[in-house]
Amino acid sequence: MAENAASLGQFDFAGDDHVVPFQVEGLDVRGRAVQLGPLLDTILARHDYPTPVARLLAEAIVLTVLLGTSLKFEGKFTVQTKGDGPVDLLVADFSTPENVRAYARFNEEALAKAVKEGRTEPEQLLGKGVLAFTIDQGRFSQPYQGIVALDGASLEEIAGTYFRQSEQIPTRVRLGAAELFDRDENGKPRHRWRAGGLIAQFLPEAPERMRQPDLHGGDGDSGARDHAEDDAWAEARSLVETIDADELTDPLVGTERLLYRLFHERGVRVYEPKAVYDRCSCSRDKLKGVLKGFTAEEIEASQENGEIAVTCEFCSTTYRFEVSEIEVA
């Protein structure tokens, strides 16, 4: 081994904002883990979201990063929720190979009421609705979208349900977000956001081993199940479920160290980390192209003092166009 090679379990080997792929051969498990720091803090600070909204969007960003970095092609992966709760919309997307952006929409009055009543769990903020996963490989292919119901469960539980129902892959997802209050190098109080997550999937060579107990069918279901859970997956899932939320966000518990804590008895192998960045895909040219599709009436309604201002919902950048720049067909 090279003298400067890092060993598994070493603090901050990958560091923040790097996704670490891993494999546990003894349990036929593969997955990815990540801790987000500066990237997440920048996105959330840009919008100055209330704490419950910021925490929820942080989990959505982690989920998007974990799933988006698995793409083997050029494209975009989007996680989006639409519900009837105080936070009616979350959008986070990952553009290969490394760019992340996100935003949330919420009803201030409904959110204030929910906070006052202590209803700030993710499922209470989102309400009933849908969670959609969209893969877009560009203009020469049809986007693929998978949808699962928001039914009163957390984001990590809903993601697991999606993989079970749509992909038939036994999957366990863990997500966590936290606020950190400390002091900077000058001793001044500082507030930061951190988040972390892990996805583990059971991928044995024999596909029949992936079969799980059937889901309950609802009213009238006798509850009988004819497929026992594979012992290896049962063990892996149980280990993942022991993760404390604080471990996912603790800056002193690096990603490799967490994986070592979980799987060292079975032998866990980590691969080269993948960096992710806070980068929006908006541009002046793209927005100008959109505006050129407006009718004369729409341009008139959008302009003020001969100027049209467009603000990106993701990065909050405002682009200004003179009406004379927009050619109306």
Please state, in angstroms and rounded to a whole number, the distance separating the CA atoms of residues 313 and 236. 39
Give the tens place of pLDDT for each residue, 306-322.
Answer: 889 998 999 989 999 98
Q: Is 328 among the domain residues?
A: no
pLDDT band, very low/low/confident/very high, at 135 (cuts 50, 70, 90): very high
Please provide the average confidence, as pLDDT, over all residues in the chain: 86
Regarding whether 269 and 237 lie in a shared domain, the answer is yes
Question: Which residue type, as a one-letter code, is found at position 116?
Answer: K
Q: Is 222 among the domain residues?
A: no
pLDDT of residue 161: 86
pLDDT of residue 11: 42
| CA angle 180–83–87, rounded 5-degree value | 35
Q: What mean pLDDT is predicted for residues 97-118?
A: 95
Structural contact between residues 174 and 243, judged by C-beta atoms closer than 8 angstroms: yes
Considering only residues 5 and 177, tell me which one the structure prediction assigns the higher pLDDT: 177
Regarding whether 259 and 153 lie in a shared domain, the answer is yes
Q: Is 290 among the domain residues?
A: yes
Regarding whether 110 and 256 lie in a shared domain, the answer is yes
Q: Which of these three, 253, 276, 299, is where a domain ends? A: 276
Please determine, for residue 206, whether its predicted confidence score (pLDDT) is greater than 70. Answer: no
Is this model's pTM higher than 0.85 or not?
yes
Nearest to 54, CA basis, from 191, 179, 190: 179
Regarding whether 288 and 251 lie in a shared domain, the answer is no
Give the tens place of pLDDT for each residue, 210-224.
Answer: 666 555 555 554 444
Regarding whether 254 and 150 lie in a shared domain, the answer is yes
Considering only residues 46 and 183, tell me which one the structure prediction assigns the higher pLDDT: 46
Q: Is 224 among the domain residues?
A: no
Structural domain including 38 reads: 16-209+229-276
* DSSP symbols for 32-93: EEEEE-HHHHHHHHHHT--HHHHHHHHHHHHHHHHHHTT--SSSEEEEEEEESSSS-EEEEE
Regarding whether 199 and 298 lie in a shared domain, the answer is no
Q: Is 221 among the domain residues?
A: no
Regarding whether 312 and 255 lie in a shared domain, the answer is no
Structural contact between residues 33 and 273, judged by C-beta atoms closer than 8 angstroms: no
| Rg over CA atoms, the chain | 22
Into how many domains does the chain fold?
A: 2
Q: Which CATH number do you get for residue 136?
A: 3.55.30.10
Q: What mean pLDDT is predicted for residues 72-92?
A: 93
